């Protein structure tokens, strides 16, 4: 059974807390000051010196995070424009979205093209490199724009991912302003191609987020005219000894944190935490908590969790679960 592309407003639900391990690489003004030789960064200003490719942002227990290419960076606010959602909750970790860092140049492939259009790996521009040391899930938290494109590449190939973005200022395209979508690639590696994108979406490339939701006939919004922004999560499964590049196309991703999660044994929500905001001349408004995306416990793991003989391992780049002599994929189907 293959997972198909979907888009829907995610509902806020209660799930059992899993015994997950979470590691956070915060990307804020303090990190930018550290990259800039200790110079304090209090304003939205690009670093004077270029930060070289491969500069380490975190060398942690479960992942290494670094700059993908030579870039200068600046501090940028990453929360909702009015601060309605400026914290993200993942398990027992609360992550600030108040600050993020942003590179100066749009990512381009080796031919100077847009990686989301060409599906060719970026070779320059603002992108984050993540190198897992164990198998798990990566969550990149940033301030997203509905009229921009976002990519994940695994070992040079475009990878499927789930994305959840708040657009609270206008709820036309999603309840609570949420745009939630998933791009699913091939069954073996979850790699995106022009062919499988065309078969499961209206496009044969990775389009702007709002384009997967906007229908002028029903929404009344002009094509590519929504142009909202807010806190955003890009989520994907990641494997040890693989290299991942994450970023935006036609934009410079304002990244607030890279989060690594492992040991998932129950569904885990990535929640934008709402609060009451009072704007000048207006009545207080209370904003809901909103689930941006959910890391789902693999079906096969749920099915065999009670079987002590079940064994999970990696085979040909896939997670395989062996039970009673039969190999299953994480989707619960028999592995071929």
Same domain? For 320 and 263 the reply is no
pLDDT at 93 over 70: yes
> Which one is predicted more confidently, 41 or 147?
147
pLDDT value for 308: 40
Please compute the mean of the pLDDT values over residues 10-36 and round it to a whole number.
70
Given a cut of 90, whether residue 4 has pLDDT beyond it is: no
**Residue 16 or residue 66, greater confidence:** 66
Highest mean pLDDT among 144-148, 277-281, 297-301: 144-148
Distance of CA 70 to the CA centre of its chain: 22
Please check whether residues 304 and 285 belong to one and the same domain: no
Residue 79 has pLDDT above 90, yes or no: no
Residues 244 and 290 placed together within one structural domain of the fold:
yes
The pLDDT value recorded for residue 218 is 72
Residue 152 has pLDDT above 80, yes or no: yes
> Does 237 have pLDDT greater than 60?
yes
| HEC profile of the chain | CCCCCEECCCCCCCCCCCCCEEEEEECCHHHHHHHCCCCCCCCCCCCCCCECCCCEEEECCCEEEEECCCECEEEEECCCCCCCEEEEEECCEEEECCEEEEECCCCEECCCCCHHHHCCCEEECCCEEEEECCCEEEEEEEEEECCCEEEEEECCEEECEEEEEECCCCCCCCHHHEEEEEECCCCCCCECCHHHHHHHCCCCCCCCHHHHCCCHHHHCCCCCCCCCEEEEEEEEEECCCCCEEEEEECCCCEEEEEEEEECCCCCEEEEEEECEECCCCCCCEECCCEEEEEECCCHHHHHHCCCCCCEEEEECCEEEEEECCEEEECCCCECC
**Whole domain around residue 319: which residue ranges?**
298-336
> Over 70: is that where the pLDDT of 259 sits?
yes
At residue 38, does pLDDT exceed 70? no
pLDDT confidence of residue 215: 77
**51 located within any domain:** yes
Per the prediction, the chain carries an average pLDDT of 85
Tell me, yes or no, whether 54 and 108 share the same domain: yes
- pLDDT at 122 exceeding the cut of 90: yes
| Domain annotation covers residue 153 | yes
Residue 107 lies in a domain: yes
Q: What is the domain count for the chain?
A: 2
Residues 291 and 317 in one domain: no
Instruction: For residue 304, give the DSSP letter.
Output: H
pLDDT of res. 91: 93
* pLDDT higher than 80, residue 68: yes
Tell whether 130 and 215 lie within a shared domain: yes
Indicate the pTM of the whole model. 0.83
Kindly state whether residues 209 and 221 are assigned to the same domain.
yes
Query: What average pLDDT does the segment 241-266 reach?
Result: 95
What mean pLDDT is predicted for residues 217-225?
80
């Amino acid at each position: 059974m293959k997972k198909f592309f979907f888009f829907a407003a995610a509902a806020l639900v209660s799930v059992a807390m899993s015994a997950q391990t979470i590691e956070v690489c915060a990307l804020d003004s303090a990190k930018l000051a550290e990259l800039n030789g200790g110079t304090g960064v209090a304003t939205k200003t690009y670093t004077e010196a270029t930060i070289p490719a491969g500069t380490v942002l975190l060398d942690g227990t479960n992942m290494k995070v670094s700059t993908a290419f030579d870039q200068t960076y600046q501090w940028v606010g990453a929360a909702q424009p009015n601060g309605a959602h400026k914290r993200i909750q993942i398990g027992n970790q609360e992550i600030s979205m108040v600050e993020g860092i942003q590179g100066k140049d749009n990512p381009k492939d080796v031919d100077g093209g847009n990686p989301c259009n060409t599906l060719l790996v970026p070779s320059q521009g603002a992108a984050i490199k993540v190198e897992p040391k164990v198998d798990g899930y990566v969550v990149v938290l940033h301030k997203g724009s509905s009229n921009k494109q976002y990519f994940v590449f695994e070992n040079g190939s475009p990878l499927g991912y789930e994305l959840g973005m708040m657009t609270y200022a206008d709820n036309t395209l999603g309840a609570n302003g949420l745009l939630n979508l998933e791009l699913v690639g091939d069954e073996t590696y979850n790699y995106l191609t022009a062919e499988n994108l065309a078969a499961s979406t209206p496009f044969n490339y990775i389009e702007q987020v709002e384009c997967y939701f906007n229908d002028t006939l029903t929404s009344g919004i002009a094509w590519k005219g929504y142009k909202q922004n807010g806190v955003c999560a890009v989520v994907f499964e990641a494997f040890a000894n693989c290299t991942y590049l994450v970023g935006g196309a036609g934009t410079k991703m304002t990244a607030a944190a890279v989060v690594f999660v492992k040991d998932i044994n129950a569904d885990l929500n990535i929640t934008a935490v709402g609060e009451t905001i009072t704007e000048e001349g207006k009545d207080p408004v209370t904003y809901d908590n909103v689930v941006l995306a959910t890391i789902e416990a693999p079906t096969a793991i749920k099915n065999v969790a009670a079987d002590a003989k079940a064994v999970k391992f990696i085979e040909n780049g896939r997670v395989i679960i062996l039970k009673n002599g039969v190999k299953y994929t994480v989707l619960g189907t028999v592995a071929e």
